[in-house]
Amino acid sequence: MPLPGKQREHHPSISFEFFPPKTEKGFTKLKERIKNDFVPLKPSYVSITYGAGGGTRDLTKQTLLAIKKETGLPVVSHLTCVGNVRDEIRTILEDYRSAGIHNVLALRGDPPKGSPPVLPNPDGFAYAADLVRFIKEYDSSFNVGVAGFPEGHPATPNRLVEMDHLKEKVDAGADYICTQLFFDNNDFFDFKERCLLSGITVPVIAGIMPVVSRNNLQRMAELSPGTRFPAGLLKSVSRARSDEQVEQIGIHWAAQQVMELLAADTAGVHFYTLNQSRATREIYRSLGIDDSEQL
Ligand code: FAD
């Protein structure tokens, strides 16, 4: 299976993340963009997000199936505990298996912004580790990834306990870790070392998201609380006179990150694309590569 996992068959893996569009028009546009802009980059896989609460359940599946059928690319489905009980998850897994999809990124998910914390349903899963265990018990051939947080997850300020929770996900059967976005590679390298110290040896894939505008920077800060924006990046952004310049700065910064990560033998790089292609393609170009087989 050409995916990150214990076998490390694709090393390094290069992957792109998309969210499922809500309209028919958006859906057609995304499919065209993937075919024209992303397939030529020969990614190891593409992943489709899943709205916690199950709101995008059908859209996620529809997008996965369309991309798989029309591009032949390996697909990974994000799947969350929040909003799903066991029977629903089993049905989703059955659907995926019969469609030839065996790759899942198992997540807890977050309640919608502004709503109170969701108490786990007694028929559901409290944490991603429970979901990983359930998937592996359902069918051990599923390739299961989990989330990791180089800068720490805001809900667990105790960073030692946090690594125990990550280890639980790996012990439950996770094949690899994909990280939250970060802007300072030292955070990632340190996280990898802490994984090893905790006995976590599965591949760790680095999550990269280039800043493309000032609004986008603000949104990242809101949606990923705890994200550390290095002063060097903020200084450059504050000097920019237009959003085009901000985008160039973001691309340059991300390209430097990716270059260093690959030189350090990182297992893979996962691009959060927000369904846009320009920044990711520019990063590729600036690295002097146009497909991942040349890495
Ligand atoms: P968990 O591993 O369950 O951890 C959640 C929190 O609970 C952590 O603070 C952890 O330390 C703590 N914890 C874990 N186990 C225990 C325990 N036994 N006792 C006490 N505390 C515990 N969200 C979506 O809704 N849809 C998506 O498609 C999506 N995709 C993502 C992709 C990536 C690569 C990443 C990094 C995140 C993604 N998220 C997505 C966001 C994610 O759902 C949230 O960040 C969520 O808060 C954490 O998810 P998790 O899977 O790490 O949860």
What is the mean pLDDT for each group of 10 consecutive residues in the chain (295 residues)?
47 94 95 95 95 82 95 96 92 96 95 69 92 98 98 95 98 98 98 98 98 95 91 97 96 97 96 95 82 49
For a mutational test of ligand 1's pocket, the pick from 49, 134, 153, 167, i.e. the residue with the most ligand atoms closer than 8 A to its C-beta, is: 153
Contacts of 53 (CB under 8 A, 6+ apart): 80, 82, 83, 109, 111, 112
Which runs of E-coded beta strand occur in the chain? Answer: 13-18, 45-48, 75-80, 103-107, 143-148, 176-181, 204-208, 268-272
For a mutational test of ligand 1's pocket, the pick from 92, 107, 119, 162, i.e. the residue with the most ligand atoms closer than 8 A to its C-beta, is: 107
Under a CB-based contact definition with an 8 Å cutoff, are residues 144 and 132 in contact? Answer: yes
Nearest CA, atom 46, ligand 1 = 109
3-state secondary structure (DSSP) of residue 181 = strand
Phi-psi region of 174 (alpha: psi -120 to 50; beta: other; left: phi over 0): beta
Cβ of 156 below 6 Å from ligand 1: yes
Phi-psi region of 206 (alpha: psi -120 to 50; beta: other; left: phi over 0): beta
Q: Which atom of ligand 1 is nearest to the CA of 156?
A: 9
Given the residues 17, 162, 247, 282, select the one marked as catalytic. Answer: 17
Q: Which atom of ligand 1 is nearest to the CA of 128?
A: 3
Q: Which atom of ligand 1 is nearest to the CA of 270?
A: 34
Contacts of 285 (CB under 8 A, 6+ apart): none
Q: Which amino acid is at 161?
A: V
Q: Considering just the CA atoms, what is the radius of gyration of the chain in Å?
A: 18
Query: What is the pLDDT at residue 3?
Result: 54
3-state secondary structure (DSSP) of residue 272 = strand
Query: What is the pLDDT at residue 116?
Result: 66
Is 244 annotated as catalytic? no
Q: Report the alpha-carbon distance of residue 231 to residue 237 in Å, rounded.
A: 10
Cα of 148 to ligand 1 centre, how many Å? 8
Comparing CA positions, the residue from 167, 161, 163 lying closest to residue 150 is: 163
Query: What is the pLDDT at residue 98?
Result: 96
Query: What is the pLDDT at residue 8?
Result: 44
